[in-house]
Structures are given as C-alpha cells and as structure tokens.
Chains A and B, each alone.
Chain A
C-alpha cells in the first residue's frame, strides 16, 4: 500500500521568509496530492491540491510542486505571516482510493 513520508517534522522561519515542506510517496499509482492546514485545536482544512497531470500549482502565497519520477511533492509558502503557523499535512491517493496522510509538519513563523 501507499506510504507517505514528510519532512521536516518541525520548521521555524522568520516572518517574511519562505517555508518549504516536502513529502515522498511510494505508490506510483497515486495521482492526487492534497495539503491540509490544521491550526491548534481546529479541524484540518484543504489549502491546495495537485493532480498528477500537472507539475505545479500556485494560489497566491502558496504553491505545490510535483515530481512524479522521484515520487515527491512539496509545499512552498512565500512571505510567511504569523497566521501561517500551524501543522501542515500532505496526503497521497490513487484514483478512487483512500488518502494516506503524512505525519505532519509543525510550522512556526517567528515575528
């Protein structure tokens, strides 16, 4: 089955700097890769996703890149702000199958 690894487990950046979180997956059949943000005590919320037919997707300060050959995908946050502080989860899923989530990255944006 699918296995998703995520690095780093914790990340601290200065406000205004960029943050990058990387995930690797094992199942070459996976074709959907969402990223969820979970603020303390709250529910996870989808912030961006990418399908295997594209290599990059951007939404304002957030972007996701996908390298199918290497089986990894990354979340990029530019111009970080204090409200970006949260736990971020990646996930991978073959078509029609359940998500497998990574263990999460705790991002702290320092003022």
Chain B
C-alpha cells in the first residue's frame, strides 16, 4: 500500500526501553495523527500535528513523544514512562488541519512489551 506507511509492523520491547514507531506519508497532507487502539475500544488520540515543526497533545499523550521535522514524517516514541504500552498504534493523515475531512490511516504497528 502506498500513501501512508508505518514501520515496523510488529515490535517487541523490554520494560524500561524507549522505542520509536515510524510513520511516513507521500500524500502531501498537512496534518498527521497518532492513535492508540486497544481491544474492544475505539481509537484514542495520542498526538497530532497540523503543520511542520508544530504538534499538540491528544487525549492520552502521557508517556509518548513526537516530532514533525518534515511534512512527510511523524515518528512516535513510546517512552519507559508509558505504563501500559502494549497496543496497536495507528498513524493517520488528512489534507488540511482546518477541515479535518477524511483521515487516511497507515497499516499500524503492533507493540508488545515483554
């Protein structure tokens, strides 16, 4: 699939380690988002970025960090401060920040803490 990609697909982490999840898009979208998905729950917003070099916390930002140095890239770091990081992580993008419109999702990264 083109458009928006995430890597790796599966990631295993030991407790106390930081890990970084990659998200890249070639859709020329201004806005990018990180969501966390847990079984039986909807998508919860971690961080979002409306433009390069700018990002804001979502509903569950504690224990996570992001950067937006390039329009195409929005990596998410899961730090050791995140108490329950095992989850499915989805990255998304949308054309503009003013009118969210349709969000395009990446294929996701499944993170497991051992």
A residues apposed to B, CB below 8 Å: 4, 6, 9, 32, 34, 36, 42-46, 49, 89, 93, 95-99, 101-104
Q: Are A98 and B42 in contact (CB under 8 A)?
A: no
State whether A46 and B43 are in contact (beta carbons under 8 Å apart), knowing that A96-B98, A98-B58 are contacts in the complex. Answer: no
Q: Are B42 and A46 in contact (CB under 8 A)?
A: no
**Chain B residues numbered 4-50 whose CB sits less than 8 Å from any CB in chain A:** 33, 40-45, 48
With the chains together, A72 CA to B107 CA distance in Å? 30
19 residue pairs bridging A and B, Cβ less than 8 Å apart: A32-B99, A32-B101, A34-B102, A42-B107, A43-B90, A43-B106, A43-B107, A44-B90, A46-B103, A95-B98, A96-B97, A96-B99, A97-B100, A99-B100, A99-B103, A101-B43, A103-B41, A103-B42, A104-B42
Residues of A close to B48: CB separation below 8 A:
98
Residues of A close to B40: CB separation below 8 A:
9, 103-104
For B, the interface residue count at a CB cutoff of 8 angstroms equals: 21
B residues apposed to A, CB below 8 Å: 33, 40-45, 48, 58, 90, 97-103, 105-108
From A4, A98, A102, residue with most partner B Cβ within 10 Å: A98
Q: How many Å from the CB of A61 to the closest CB on chain B?
A: 20
**Which of A9, A49, A89, A95 interacts with B102 by CB under 8 Å?**
A49
With the chains together, A44 CA to B44 CA distance in Å? 13
Q: Are A44 and B105 in contact (CB under 8 A)?
A: yes
**Which of A34, A43, A49, A89 interacts with B42 by CB under 8 Å?**
A89
**Which of A43, A102, A103 interacts with B105 by CB under 8 Å?**
A43
Q: Are B42 and A32 in contact (CB under 8 A)?
A: no
Residues of B close to A6: CB separation below 8 A:
42
With the chains together, A9 CA to B58 CA distance in Å? 25
Q: A34-B103, A99-B103, A101-B42 are in contact. List 14 more A-B contacts (CB 8 A).
A: A6-B42, A9-B40, A32-B101, A45-B105, A46-B102, A95-B99, A96-B97, A96-B98, A96-B100, A98-B45, A101-B43, A103-B40, A104-B40, A104-B42
